[in-house]
Amino acid sequence: MKPLGREEPAGANAATPTWQLRLYIAGQTPKSIAAFANLTRLCEEHLPGRYSIEVIDLMLHPQLAAGDQIVAIPTLVRKLPEPLRRIVGDLSNTERTLVGLQLRSTPASREQGGIW
């Protein structure tokens, strides 16, 4: 919780634009670990001091899965700012993650499935 503004494109100079992120995992799997690592790196890079990450392990709290409509694991849910966004996967594709978090405007070519 260190409000520290850096050179950010959108609404960076606001006082407390806290990003509430929630990462759903199911046990300490390689994908979960990778996702968490990727997320923290990305936040540090783009949202330093303006984010909070809550990690929910569904193995321990299975009842929490339905609330956020979790199907895939890992899933990152952007609770704040609105609107709610979901990013599934281990967040290894930084570009796509940034788009998903709306930290970067949508690229012109967004062909779904073409990358896979």
Partner 1 sequence: MTQIDHQQTSNNPGFAKAPTGIQGLDEITGGGLPRGRPTLVCGGAGCGKTLLAMEFLVRGATQFGEPGVFMSFEESATELTQNVRSLGFDLDDLVQKKMLAIDFVRVERNEIEETGEYDLEGLFVRLNFAIDSIGAKRVVLDTIETLFGGLSNVSILRGELRRLFRWLKDKGVTAVITGESGDGALTRHSLEEYVSDCVIVLDHRVTEQMSTRRLRIVKYRGTSHETNEYPFLIDADGISVLPVTSLGLQHTASTTRISSGIPRLDAMLGGDGYFRGSTVLMSGTAGSGKSSIAAHFVAAACQRGERCLYFAFEESPGQILRNMRSIGIDLEPWMQQGLLHFHASRAAIHGLEMHLATIHKLVRKFQPRVVVMDPVGSLTSVGTSQDANVMLTRLIDFLKMQGITAMLTSLTSGDAALEQTSTNVSMLVDTWLLLRDLELDGERNRVMYVLKSRGMAHSNQLREFLLTDQGVELQNVYLGAEGVLTGSARQTREATEKAARLLRHQEVEAKQRERVLKREAQEARIIALQKEFEAEEEVAKRDIDQEQSREETNRQDRDRMGISRQGDKVLKEAEPSARSHETPRSRK
Residues that bind partner 1 (CB under 8 A): 24, 26, 31, 34-35, 38, 58-59, 62-63, 65-66, 69-75, 84-94, 96-97, 99-100, 112-113, 116
Least distance from C-beta 14 to partner 1, angstroms? 24
Q: Of 8 and 57, which has the nearer Cβ to partner 1?
A: 57
Q: Of 14 and 37, which has the nearer Cβ to partner 1?
A: 37
Q: Of 49 and 107, which has the nearer Cβ to partner 1?
A: 107
Q: Which residues have C-beta within 8 Å of that of residue 36, sequence separation ≥ 6?
A: 23, 25, 53, 55, 74
Least distance from C-beta 34 to partner 1, angstroms? 8
Q: Of 50 and 98, which has the nearer Cβ to partner 1?
A: 98
Q: Which residues have C-beta within 8 Å of that of residue 46, sequence separation ≥ 6?
A: 8, 98, 103
* Alpha-carbon span 112 to 91, nearest angstrom: 16
Residue 53: burial class (beta carbons within 10 Å; 0-12, 13-18, 19+):
middle
Nearest residue to 46 (alpha-carbon basis) of 89, 115, 104: 104
Least distance from C-beta 38 to partner 1, angstroms? 8
